[in-house]
């Protein structure tokens, strides 16, 4: 197996590494001071918000979204703003971001937004994309992902017990979630919630995801 990096792979790795060294690392003390000043989740941190502007201007924004798998067309004509790196290309960038615990947010590449954006891009309707994906893609809002439940081993999705039931034009969600990644952020406007919509189906066909405005 050839582990030699391509020119494109080396280029993105070097660009993120340089941005981390020249822009992000010098702001570590300022970010920690802002965190210490008060409630971490009361408002966005000014230093991180300023770095986001610089990262986007440098073309290092939304690096996580891969192109459509080989043989599969894009879901529609929605244009996702980003470099559309492969998983390998993004892994090299993520390794550099991971040297500072909050740095991925600077590049709009932090969880749970990354996974949620990919779900919305691959499976959302045009209305979903206009309402939620576009502002997430632009870093204007944040999102949450709710899967884990206190009573079951939630890493196995077949254990999830939250019920999602259709009631006329609405859905009723009945259950308890915790470790709800992203829900504490004041910018959170949409959550993807996992629950059981068809308890009588085969084990691996019982679960669904539902969008819940926050």
CATH of the domain at 67: 1.10.540.10
pLDDT by 10s per residue, the chain, length 214: 788 999 999 999 999 999 999 999 999 999 999 999 877 777 899 999 999 999 999 999 999 999 877 766 677 788 898 999 999 999 999 999 999 999 999 999 999 999 999 999 999 999 999 999 999 999 999 999 999 999 999 999 999 999 999 999 999 999 999 999 999 999 999 999 999 999 999 999 999 999 999 9
154 part of a folded domain:
no
> How many structural domains compose the chain?
1
**Domain membership flag for residue 94:** yes
**DSSP code at position 140:** S
* Residue 163 counted as domain residue: no
Q: What is the pTM of this model?
A: 0.92
Range of the domain at 36: 7-109
Alpha-carbon distance 109 to 91, whole Å?
Answer: 11
Which alpha helices (DSSP H) does 3-60 contain, by range? Answer: 7-19, 28-37, 46-57
Q: Which of 142, 145, 146 is closest to 45 using CA atoms?
A: 142
Peptide bond into 112 cis (omega under 30): yes
Residues in the chain: 214
Asked if the structure places residue 209 within a domain, the reply is no
At 191, list the tokens. Answer: 């959550």
Please choose, from the candidates 138, 136, 130, the residue with its C-alpha nearest in 3D space to the C-alpha of residue 182: 136
Residue 162 inside a domain? The answer is no
Please report whether residue 157 resides in a domain.
no
Residue at 140 is within a domain: no
* Domain assignment present for 63: yes
């Amino acid at each position: 197996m050839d582990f030699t990096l391509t020119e494109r792979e080396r280029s993105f790795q070097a660009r993120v590494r340089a941005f981390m060294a020249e822009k992000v690392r010098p702001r570590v003390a300022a970010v920690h001071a802002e965190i210490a000043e008060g409630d971490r989740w009361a408002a966005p941190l000014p230093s991180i918000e300023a770095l986001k502007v610089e990262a986007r201007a440098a073309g290092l924004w939304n690096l996580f979204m891969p192109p459509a798998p080989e043989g599969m067309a894009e879901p529609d004509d929605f244009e996702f703003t980003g470099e559309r790196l492969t998983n390998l290309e993004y892994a090299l960038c993520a390794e550099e971001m991971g040297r500072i615990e909050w740095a991925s947010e600077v590049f709009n590449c932090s969880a749970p937004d990354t996974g949620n954006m990919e779900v919305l891009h691959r499976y959302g309707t045009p209305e979903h994309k206009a309402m939620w994906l576009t502002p997430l893609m632009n870093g204007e809002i944040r999102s949450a992902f709710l899967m884990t439940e206190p009573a079951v081993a939630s890493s196995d999705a077949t254990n999830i017990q939250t019920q999602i039931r259709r009631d006329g034009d609405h859905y009723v969600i009945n259950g308890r979630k915790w470790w709800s990644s992203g829900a504490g952020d004041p910018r959170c406007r949409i959550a993807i919630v996992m629950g059981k919509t068809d308890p009588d189906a085969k084990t691996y066909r019982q679960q669904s995801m539902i969008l819940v405005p926050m």
